[in-house]
Chain A
């Protein structure tokens, strides 16, 4: 571009725009975003397609809105960064070690039937086949995520599978990471030592202070909150005192599921995470899938309720950051990564197309493979439309199964009626499983879609926050710190 003579006239390309208060927000497929006054937008639109440089705000020229100023290499790289799951084989391999659970959470999408029935456990043979399947895919990076039900209920198989993975890793050129999602109720020192020595990242659910957490997550004798806090403290101390170890210990993490029980306690939930020594929080709204759908009258929230909660929580998190407290919010990181051209935020369902079957796959305890964990959860409710094969099937057959193709087509936002012209399309994504479960079709109906309303509201709020330089610096630091 440097050696070319600068054009005298420009052709402006307005791909997506939105009227926001008295301004117009313009975005393009390269992720560029510019806000201009409404009158200026109308003035530009009233002229011919070809405009003189004096008629155009410089920011529009700088951010890829003029056809003559598009740098194919730079701008295509920007697109690829935000949609990197289009360019890769599955990275995330979710291993559901058991359908059993020792808790009865009010929203449990796993639909866990209780801890008695061992026929719901993954056998070692099936687990090894799933690991072999994962190593037969071609991604140079593999992330195994053990979950359930409660995976510690199938401890022997889990431990043997971890050792199998590490053996295969030594003979391969892959970068392998392993994580475990657990309620920690069955955790003990012996298990903790094994997990840490095998460099497993631990993650749990902490829905807030005890009076919120216990309403969402029911356990025998109500031990869940105390157990989670105790083990988070343990793992954090092990992380902080790991000098001299021959193995790496990663910081433990936790996530929140926001339900009706959470509303009105946004600040307290954030403060709970800070007091637990956690540096990241992920404020996910409860999803109307599976068990949560049946319990919706008790726990469900509207997009408006969630967005009020989210904005209060995020404002509080920003204020804590200004006082020097290290705490970031994961949904904000996902959107800001795309807004700041730093990647796709590492999430597979806020992407176009979504990562179902290509960025991630889920192996059920019986060896069935699903497009994603949500697709698997729907199968547990009796609908296996998102089943794409089994651990005995060839990789190519599974990864190009009908459900994978359908998810890709349905979540490619250029083909979505509302999304294709939405100002937030470059930063957003839709989930075919959620759309199918709540609206009856993979593509859904965005005008009435809860996730669409939530995503739009979150991006609205984040873009508003970014108008202040202090806030922008904090959010940029979260991205650099995370990726």
Chain B
């Protein structure tokens, strides 16, 4: 009996989703979801093979999560860099020793 291959494609348009967001999601989920990414002119197409449950939706959710993070960091990155730099400089204490 021939096995049935179930395939699902999701297209992430570059007008909304950056390649970085799709790549990050792929990195996070590569051990959990079976997929292939194809870069097209106007976005990224992700093909899911033999998926079970809602793996494509989980992938899409992670892309959305990453894109939101990228969008927020465009606004807040200056502030974040300031705070993180201060934390790291404080941690090394300016070289103070006993």
Q: Interface size on A (CB < 8 Å)?
A: 41
> Which residues between 2 and 49 of chain B lie within 8 Å of chain A, taking CB atoms?
24, 28-29, 32
Q: Does B62 contact A (CB under 8 A)?
A: yes
Residues of the B chain whose Cβ atoms lie less than 8 Å from the Cβ of A418: 68
Interchain CB contact under 8 A, A405 and B69: no
Interface pair A420/B76, CB less than 8 Å apart:
yes
Residues A88 and B90 in contact, CB atoms below 8 Å apart: yes
In the bound complex, do residue B77 and residue A415 qualify as a contact, i.e. CB atoms below 8 Å apart? Answer: yes
- Which residues, 293 to 346 on A, are CB-close (under 8 Å) to B? none
B50 contacts the other chain (CB 8 A): no
Please choose the segment from A1-9, A35-43, A110-118, A131-139 that sits at the chain B interface, where 4 or more of its residues have CB less than 8 A away.
A131-139
Complex interface bits, A346-387 against B, C-beta within 8 A gives 1, otherwise 0: 000000010001100000000000000000000000000000
- Select from chain A the residue with minimum beta-carbon distance to B83: A412
Interface contact B87-A358, CB-CB below 8 Å: yes
Among the stretches A221-229, A260-268, A273-281, A440-448, the one at the interface with B is A440-448
Q: Would you call A89 and B84 a contact (CB within 8 A)?
A: no
The answer to whether B62 touches A420, judged by C-beta atoms less than 8 angstroms apart, is no
A87 adjacent to B86 (CB under 8 Å): yes
* CB-contact partner of B68 in A135, A137, A412, A417, under 8 A: A417
Residue A416 CB within 8 A of the other chain? yes
A414 touches B90 (CB 8 A): no
Contact with A along B49-72 (1 / 0, CB 8 A): 000000000000110010011011
B-side binding surface: helix, strand, loop or mixed? helix
Pick the most buried of B77, B80, B87: most chain A CB atoms within 10 A of its CB: B87
Let me know if B80 and A358 touch, CB within 8 A.
no
A417 and B92 contact, CB distance less than 8 A? no
A residues in contact with B73, CB < 8 Å: 415
Q: Kindly identify, within residues 413 to 441 of chain A, every residue whose CB is under 8 Å from any CB belonging to chain B.
A: 414-418, 420, 439-441
Question: Smallest Cβ distance from A341 to chain B, in angstroms?
Answer: 19
Residue of A nearest to B61 (CB): A445
Whole-angstrom distance between the alpha carbons of A408 and B85 in the complex?
A: 9
Which B residue's beta carbon lies closest to that of A440?
Answer: B28
Residue pair B91, A358 in contact (C-beta under 8 Å): yes
- Whether B86 contacts A86 by the Cβ 8 Å rule is yes
Is B1 an interface residue, CB under 8 A from the partner? no
**Chain A residues positioned under 8 Å from B92 (CB to CB):** 89, 138, 395-396, 399-400
| Most chain A beta-carbon contacts within 10 A, residue among B29, B71, B73, B97 | B73
Task: Give CA–CA (A171, B97) in the complex, Å.
Answer: 13
Q: What B residues does A90 contact at CB under 8 A?
A: 91
Cα–Cα, bound, A417→B67 (Å): 9
Question: When A86-B87, A358-B90 are in contact, do A136 and B97 touch as well, CB less than 8 Å?
Answer: yes
Is A192 in contact with chain B by the CB < 8 A criterion? no
Chain B residue contacts of A409, Cβ below 8 A: 80, 84
Q: Cα distance A440–B27 when bound, in Å? A: 9
- CB-defined contacts of B61 to chain A, threshold 8 Å: 445, 447-448
Q: Quick one: closest A residue to B91, CB to CB? A: A358
